[in-house]
């Protein structure tokens, strides 16, 4: 694993005005972080108390890196977090999703032992905040297998469950700041570049949707136009997960981190006091599932 001074994994978060979610996510992450790991948070100049909350954590040495300043868009915020990361491996943590840190550590260990792997992705889980007990399973394994076998030149996947080797950024690049569907474009670019992608059949993330989590639905024409542009450029013929389904699955759409209102539960009959219990249930759910279903690693290079 390296010396005590080596940072093997950076957890990176980009956030803005989502303090109720962020507190839950960071509390769990802080309890799980290992000595060879760091927490990096980029705040887009929040006005809901997030900035002050993060400043206190940083001054206390609880989080390792912190920046608060305006972002041009969410891809810009995530790119800053990726560049700040000191770890050999980067794990993106979205502030309102749920993560299995045991599964993430398995992926981390595998990448450290197999230094030629650029990216690991996994199966994903998804639910809505309102119907949180109706958790659905999603997989991109069939699409990965077709790409791995050379049948298709590209495939798409969500970045919520992605781990990236930092040195690979020199080849695969950062998020394209002109795309709202930033992980749609990023996954196509990574797969077209023939990056060494490994598929983990476990679940390291659970996506939680709510009315303000999806920015892309604000402009359907923009989504359609960008989707067509990326599909043509990256020679993507489609595989049953077109953009019209992106919002339904949620793992494939950039999360909304620029809310017009501070209240994150507009349109839902949910009291904010219920949210911690909901997330407690979901963290237990993903941990139990991974304990029951042992995941395996499938490399793209046979």
Per-residue pLDDT tens for 13-72? 999 999 999 999 999 999 999 999 999 999 999 999 999 999 999 999 999 999 999 999
Range of the domain at 186: 9-299
Per the document, the length of the chain is 302
Helix H or strand E encompassing 276:
helix 275-292
Look at residue 96 and tell me if it is in a domain. yes
Q: Domain with 141 in it: what CATH number?
A: 3.90.550.10
| Stronger pLDDT, 86 or 226, i.e. the higher one | 86
Mean pLDDT of 114-132: 94
Look at residue 85 and tell me if it is in a domain. yes
- Contact criterion met (CB below 8 Å) for 264 and 21: yes
Phi, psi at 31, each rounded to 5°? -70, -25
| CA separation for the pair 92, 107 (Å, rounded) | 13
Look at residue 163 and tell me if it is in a domain. yes
Per-residue pLDDT tens for 229-267? 777 788 887 775 554 444 434 433 333 333 334 444 444
Per-residue pLDDT tens for 75-102? 999 999 999 999 999 999 999 999 999 9
According to the model, what pLDDT value does residue 242 have?
A: 53
Look at residue 1 and tell me if it is in a domain. no
Number of domains in the chain: 1
> 10 Å Cβ neighbour count for 284?
11
Look at residue 135 and tell me if it is in a domain. yes
What are the structure tokens assigned to 113, written together? 């032992």
Look at residue 103 and tell me if it is in a domain. yes
According to the model, what pLDDT value does residue 15 have?
A: 95
Look at residue 2 and tell me if it is in a domain. no
Look at residue 252 and tell me if it is in a domain. yes
The pTM (predicted TM-score) of the whole model is 0.89
């Amino acid at each position: 694993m390296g010396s005590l001074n080596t940072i093997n994994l950076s957890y990176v978060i980009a956030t803005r005005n989502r303090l109720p979610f962020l507190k839950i996510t960071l509390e769990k992450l802080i309890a799980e972080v290992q000595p060879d790991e760091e927490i990096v948070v980029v705040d887009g100049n929040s006005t809901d108390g997030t900035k002050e909350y993060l400043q206190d954590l940083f001054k206390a040495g609880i989080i390792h890196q912190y920046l608060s300043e305006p972002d041009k868009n969410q891809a810009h915020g995530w790119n800053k977090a990726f560049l700040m990361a000191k770890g050999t491996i980067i794990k993106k943590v979205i502030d309102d999703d749920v993560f299995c840190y045991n599964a993430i550590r398995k992926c981390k260990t595998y990448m450290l032992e197999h230094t030629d792997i650029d990216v690991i992705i996994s199966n994903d889980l998804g639910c809505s905040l309102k119907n949180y007990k109706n958790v659905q399973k999603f997989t991109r394994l069939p699409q990965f297998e077709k790409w791995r076998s050379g049948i298709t030149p590209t495939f798409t996947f969500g970045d919520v469950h992605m781990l990236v080797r930092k040195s690979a950024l020199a080849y695969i690049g950062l998020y394209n700041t002109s795309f709202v569907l930033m992980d749609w474009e990023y996954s196509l670019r990574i797969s077209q570049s023939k990056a060494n992608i490994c598929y983990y059949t476990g679940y390291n993330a659970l996506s939680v949707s709510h009315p303000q989590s999806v920015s892309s639905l604000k402009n359907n024409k923009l989504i359609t136009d960008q989707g067509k542009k990326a599909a043509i450029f990256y020679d993507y013929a489609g595989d049953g997960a077109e953009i019209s389904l992106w919002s339904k699955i949620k793992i494939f759409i950039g999360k909304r981190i620029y809310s017009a209102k501070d209240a994150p539960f507009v349109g839902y009959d949910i009291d904010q006091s219920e949210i911690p219990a909901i997330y407690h249930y979901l963290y237990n759910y993903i941990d139990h599932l991974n304990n029951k279903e042992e995941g395996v690693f499938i490399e793209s290079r046979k």
